[in-house]
Structure 1
Amino acid sequence: MIYHINLLNGKSFHMSVYRSSNIRVHNVSMMAPGDSPNTDGIHVSHSANISITSSTIGVGDDCVSIGPGNTNISVSYVHCGPGHGISVGSLGKGKNEEKVELIRVSNCTINGTQNGVRVKTWPGAPPSEASDMIFENIVMTNVTNPIIIDQEYCPSKQCDIQKASLVKLNNMLFKNITGTYNSKEAVTMLCSPSVPCENVLLVGVHLNWMEQEDPRAGRVSLKGLIHGLDIINSSF
């Protein structure tokens, strides 16, 4: 158990959970300037049965990042902002990455971030898999990219995006996600053209653009291949 700890202005990741199991992070606070690079709040990799609950994270990168080799990771009742949101990935940067499965992000608030909930893989990534991910009961305020799948993730802009990611994304549920966003696209699904995203379900997603009079707002942006996309009782 890691609890009741305040971390301030880390020069890189504030906390890293690596090759660990049965860890609960509860009621922690992590703060850094919103423009501070690579200051992720909590990064989890190659771990199992990790719970992050009831915490406040405002940093310059991902509030929580879930890397390769993870299984059964739960993030709940986390307040995120500023930062880049809550992310699965980035995945596929290295060879022979272990798969990611059983990820649940629930009952979180995300405020003023670059992204809301995100799954990101590198272009040209070698084969691996991420499956069975649930993002539910999340409230977003003034978020730029509320829901984003990005299989052309390349922050340095020096990648060969002509090479498709071979990370297989499968069984993703986005449920009861509400709030406001400030870009033209509420939902972006940039999937691999070689390894399709499969079984993506949006249920009860209601996101309002902050400049309602612009007729270009409220779009869903799709690229690549998706097998099995269902959008139920949702509005953007």
Structure 2
Amino acid sequence: MVFVGPCKGPVLFQIIGNMKAVDDPSAYAEDFWMSFEDVDGLTVCGTGTIDGQGQNMWPYNNCGKSGGTCSPSLKFSNVSYGTISNITLSNGKGFHMGFYLCNNIRVENVTILSPWDSPNTDGIHISRSVNVTVDSSDIGVGDDCVSIGPGSVNVSVSNVQCGPGHGISIGSLGKYPDEEDVIGITVQNCTINGTQNGIRVKTWPGSPAGSATGILFENIAMINVSNPVMIDQEYCPSRTCNITKPSRVKLKDIEVKNVTGTYNGDAPTPPVTLLCSTHQPCENINLIDIDLRPTAGDGDARPRGLFQIKGFFNGLQVVPSIASSQ
């Protein structure tokens, strides 16, 4: 279904009741189910559910591999001044909601649900978009609750309940040449529960040059998260990358402030992991008031200590009010 302009709003699109996608992915000629394109002034709301029926596709999901796509259930392309609220999305074949080349977007009070083992089912993906706000939403999926990709500028994520899933991520960055920079990302007042990762910045090894600057993670509650705080400039989910070729994505001015709660003590890495590039030093990284403790009964299999640090840094600051498992 394609709803295409150019249209000058206000345009109101209401979803009431349950919408179910065809469960056969071969029935789709495009890499999405529903798409809104070239609309200025769009509201999508209602009490309904958008069910992507992705169960048949998950065992064969090749999102991002060999030309495979992430098949968002709800795609917004070149939409300005849009509001998406109160709807529920579930069981995406790939991403549940994606924003591309959009500006001045607000997402609020949405619910996104897929099983923890559903691959590449990011809740909300943002790319090459400006002034996007995600607020007061409940997201539990099989991948990132919110993923913020290249070209994202002035993005705010707040009051999100995330879990299960892979946490809230900036990236991955540096996979393709000529990616646009990421500037001004704020993640505040979120709870991340039972996820693989918490808050994360991820870039590919051997990447082209790029940058991500002006990032704030603040007031984040962790509940039994395996990797609560992570900068990963050796990101390679397929494990086939040559990590001796350093990432050339510059990470600068990142502040992680008031992160509290518990981590999974049986995870193989410490709760704060900073893997920076050996080519482009991480610059001005500030960790302030981090209090993370192992979940009761865990911890015997984890190397003791709070940090794993690797790569080059310029201006790493760790305020000493940090708790460890020792």
- Write the distance in 2 (CA, Å) between the matches of 1:190 and 1:225: 9
- Report the residue type matching 2:176 in the other structure: G
1:218 CA displacement: 3.2
Higher relative contact order (CA 8 A, sep 6+): 1
TM-score by length of 2: 0.71
Which residue type is aligned with residue 277 of structure 2?
S
The partner residue of 1:122 within 204, 223, 228 is 204
Query: What amino acid sits opposite 2:308 in the alignment?
Result: S
Give the match for residue 177 of structure 2: 95
Q: State the one-letter code of the partner of 1:234.
A: I
Select 1:149's aligned residue among 202, 214, 231.
Answer: 231
Stretches of structure 1 lacking an aligned partner (at least 5 in a row): none
Q: What is the correspondence of 1:105-184 to structure 2 with a 5 Å cutoff?
A: 105-182=187-264, 183=267, 184=269
Give 1:219 shift: 2.6
Q: For residues 68 and 213 of structure 1, do their structure 2 counterparts lie closer, same or farther at Cα, with a shift above 3 Å needed?
A: closer
- What residue is the counterpart of 2:283 in the other structure? 198
Distance 2:298 2:92 in 1: 38
Aligned position for 1:230: 317
Q: Select which of 161, 169, 179 maps to 1:79.
A: 161
Deviation at 1:157, TM superposition (A): 1.1
Greater radius of gyration (CA): 2
Change in CA separation of 1:165 and 1:27 when aligned onto 2, cut-off 3 Å = same
In structure 2, the gaps of 5 or more residues are 1-82
Amino acid at match of 1:188: T
Partners of 2:216 and 2:139 lie apart in 1 by 20
Report the alpha carbon displacement of residue 46 of structure 1 after superposing the two structures with TM. 0.2
Could you tell me whether the CA contact under 8 Å between 1:209 and 1:217 is conserved in 2? no
1:208/1:218 contact within 8 Å kept:
no
Coordinate RMSD, CA, aligned:
1.2
2-side partners of 1:71 and 1:235: how far apart?
A: 33
The runs of at least 4 consecutive aligned structure 1 residues that moved more than 3 Å come to 211-216
> Structure 1: how far apart are the matches of 2:242 and 2:289?
36
**Change beyond 3 A, Cα 1:212–1:36:** closer
Q: For 1:174 and 1:218, how far apart are their aligned partners in 2?
A: 18
Looking at structure 2, the residues matched to 200 and 168 of structure 1 have their Cα atoms a distance apart, in angstroms, of: 12
Q: Deviations over 1:154-207 (max 9, x none)?
A: 001111111100000000000000000013511000000010101000111100
What does residue 185 of structure 1 align with? 270
CA distance change for structure 1 residues 213 and 26 in 2, over 3 Å: closer, same or farther?
Answer: closer
Say if 2:304 is the partner of 1:217: yes
SS at match of 1:131: strand
State the shift of 1:14 in Å: 0.1
1:66-122, CA deviations, whole angstroms, 9 ceiling, x for partnerless residues? 000011000000000000000000000000111001000000000000000000000
Amino acid at match of 1:216: P
Separation in 2, partners of 1:79, 1:213: 25
Partner of 1:161: helix, strand, or coil? coil
Deviation at 1:216, TM superposition (A): 3.4
Please state whether the residue corresponding to 2:271 is helix, strand or coil: strand
* Equivalences, count: 236
* CA offset digits 1:114-140 (Å, max 9, x no partner): 000000000000000000000000100
| Alpha-carbon contact 2:228-2:263 (below 8 Å) kept | yes
What one-letter code is carried by the residue in structure 2 that aligns with 1:57?
A: I
The alignment partner of 2:206 has SS state of coil
